[in-house]
Amino acid sequence: MDSSVSVCLDHCQDYGHRSLQSVLARVLSCLGDLHLSSGDRVLLKPNLIAAGAPPHACTHAGFVAAVAAWFLDHECHVVVGDSPAFGRAVTVAERQGLVRALRGMNVRIVEFTSVCRRRLPCGITVGVAAEALDCVFVYGIVPRSTLEKTVRNQAGVVAKERLQRVSHTMLLEAQGLSAGEQESSLNTAIEELARETPKDLWDEKP
């Protein structure tokens, strides 16, 4: 059984429409025939972590739109879907600029709401989003940062802001923390926030 996987890497100067079109044309052509037919349903799965997540944490809206346009040009029906770590897909897509980027294109944004168990040829059983089962092609579009790293970075932003407020109050009361105590308090707060991921974690901007 052939288990080889084709991987194509290319550099894009920016997220401008022309730059993305050029890079996508080169990369997708390297993958060979995708066996697409007119009317095929294609699911694009970007990373939509949270409405307030920093831009680098979610897949860039311009890139998703460019990939969608490529499949539309090949007469496919395109849907964009995800199950964000925080919030609803449509809400996150709106805040991250994806709804605007897809405006005028015949593309729906769907929420992954149910999971179906499927057994793979290798014998492993996995959970698959029901919304993806009737698609002939599922294209994952991921940012450069992992969810764990993004959550931890945001936890650091929130923890620092909170510690600064506490330190300022204690300083006014002549009870300031030493540098070592501040570092220890900061690390503890980051670990707690990253572990518990409260709903207001993304309210603080980096």
Q: At what angle do helices 61-73 and 17-30 cross, to 10 degrees?
A: 60
Residues 103-152 have pLDDT tens digits of: 999 999 988 888 788 787 777 887 777 777 767 666 666 555 555 666 77
Closest CA to 157 of 195, 201, 197, 96: 201
pLDDT at 139: 65
Query: Residue 133 and residue 78: Cα distance in Å, rounded?
Result: 14
Model pTM score:
0.65
Q: For residues 88, 93, 99 and 100, what is the CA-based torsion angle, rounded to 10 degrees?
A: 140
pLDDT at 105: 94
As a whole number, mean pLDDT of residues 85-100 equals 87
| Token duo for residue 118 | 């499927």
**pLDDT of 18 strictly over 90:** no
**pLDDT of 164 strictly over 80:** no
Closest CA to 195 of 159, 166, 163: 159
Confidence of residue 80 (pLDDT cuts 50, 70, 90): very high
DSSP state of 118: E
As a whole number, mean pLDDT of residues 84-112 equals 88
**pLDDT of 175 strictly over 60:** no
**High-pLDDT (> 90) share of the chain, %:** 12
**Sequence-separated (6 or more) residues with CB below 8 Å from residue 120:** 126
pLDDT at 1: 47
Domain boundaries, the chain: 37-145, 149-202
As a whole number, mean pLDDT of residues 43-69 equals 83
Class of domain 37-145: alpha beta
Which comes out higher in pLDDT, residue 143 or 70?
A: 70
Closest CA to 158 of 108, 182, 130, 194: 194
As a whole number, mean pLDDT of residues 152-175 equals 65
3-state secondary structure of 201: helix
pLDDT at 168: 54
- Whether 193 and 160 have beta carbons less than 8 Å apart is answered as no
**pLDDT of 205 strictly over 90:** no
